[in-house]
Chain A
């Protein structure tokens, strides 16, 4: 039932994107006149894994169930107002079945404009600023690879942290020596996602989370022309759990996830070096389960070197490390407490190497991952008991945007 509903709405998006794209020359957004613009994007990936499942059933062959398609419209009736909205459908194995959803939709009002700076406010469903990449992570061309560095941009709980209804105050300031962009958002996140319930409370929890007042703040500094880019993201997501039909003696608790991300990038004509480091504390109470209520702090970081060659070619090397408890990196202490839970679900260390070629509005990519640990695998795709600690993955992707 869900599948058929999804495929109906997907056809609608496909039709919309195709209709907008048809009159295009190869490298053009659709400018519809009167300040209205349309953009769209689509990608299809192939996944092969040695063990474990990503993007559908791929431990015994190529998986093709990983794709995304989306389109946006924006309208600038005058210099101070902007209305923007984007819809998106994404398929990724069991965790995303292509349901059409509103990615963002908000009104933007510029309040103050100077010679090289502006200050404004956004109201509606807005993207949550996290690190360099969260706001556009579903557009393949803007990602640092086919999949995001999972330590910081964890796909298995992505739907809960992408965007949220709320209000945001922002500023852009350009100086001769560089640029500062900042924003502060107060939001009420939409957390009604079984993947989040599983991530927070394990596979036997049956209830749902509801977002409480949460906030995000980010400041990004660029030295002249972006040779150096550096940023800080601070946030706190709060949520309340309503128990479902579980057999475990869960009570309805609440959790709070204060988090910070440091981002740094150095750009030259041919090279980009990118690194981000993050910690997220998990404070839970009221669940009546000691293991759940135990505070812990996750640790995430990655380093990536990207080399641009001529002719639209680029290649990258990345190391990405994710620990669910920074004081128990190998998961040994957790596994000793939690019966039937192996240590490997508490960490993931991922070496990745990839190539990409951009031809006009198309990007063709391939990348290979060697991973030790399963912390970022979606357990709805790969049940814990069936997972392997060391595994390899090959991804191929074709992507288009306008």
Chain B
């Protein structure tokens, strides 16, 4: 029964998700509540539960994987995330996420930056990052 549950979960995950949230391997935990994910990617939350600072990496607004992150994991539209960042950044209330151009760059920056948070379409077996399940 438990095995069947795992099978269903894996099958569902493969079907539904076009994006995986990844973190630097030094970040503790295996999952993230959606509210926390939204606060982190929205630049409203600046540290992990262990007190270490979060460094957020993003792909360009129009990138299909960024669109997938917004719609599937955060349940918002990319323009809303952009507006929220701009409101914070140009009133001095928060810093902007760091933009990378490609998924390869995303993997390498997240792998080498302590406290890093990012996302890619699919984590490959030998990628030096950890994937987090968004609840």
Contact = CB atoms under 8 A, between A and B. Distances in A.
A113 B47 contact: yes
Given A116-B35, A172-B39, A25 B101 contact: yes
Interface in B40-85: 42, 44-47, 49, 51-54, 60, 74-77, 79-80, 83-84
Q: Which of B49, B60, B90 has the largest number of chain A CB atoms within 10 A?
A: B90
A34 B52 CA distance: 15
Nearest to A139: B90
Interface residues of A, number: 52
Contacts of B80: 225-226, 267
A136 B98 CA distance: 20
B127 interface: no
A175 B42 CA distance: 13
Contacts of A179: 38-39, 42, 44
Interface in A35-57: 35, 37, 39, 41
Given A31-B98, A84-B92, A116 B33 contact: yes
B127 to A, nearest CB: 23
A175 B45 contact: no
Contacts of B95: 35, 37, 74, 76, 82
B87 A39 contact: no
A39 B87 CA distance: 13
B46 A135 contact: no
B126 interface: no
A99 to B, nearest CB: 20
- The 3 A-B pairs of least Cβ separation, nearest first, read A84-B92, A225-B76, A79-B47
Interface of A: 25, 27-29, 31, 35, 37, 39, 41, 72, 74, 76, 78-80, 82, 84-86, 104-106, 108, 110, 113, 115-118, 122, 126-127, 135-136, 138-139, 141-142, 170, 172, 174-176, 179, 181, 224-226, 267, 269, 308, 401
Interface of B: 33-36, 38-39, 42, 44-47, 49, 51-54, 60, 74-77, 79-80, 83-84, 86-87, 89-96, 98-99, 101
23 contacts: A25-B101, A29-B96, A39-B89, A39-B96, A72-B90, A76-B53, A79-B46, A79-B53, A82-B94, A82-B95, A84-B92, A84-B93, A85-B92, A104-B92, A108-B93, A115-B35, A127-B92, A135-B91, A136-B90, A138-B90, A172-B44, A179-B44, A224-B75
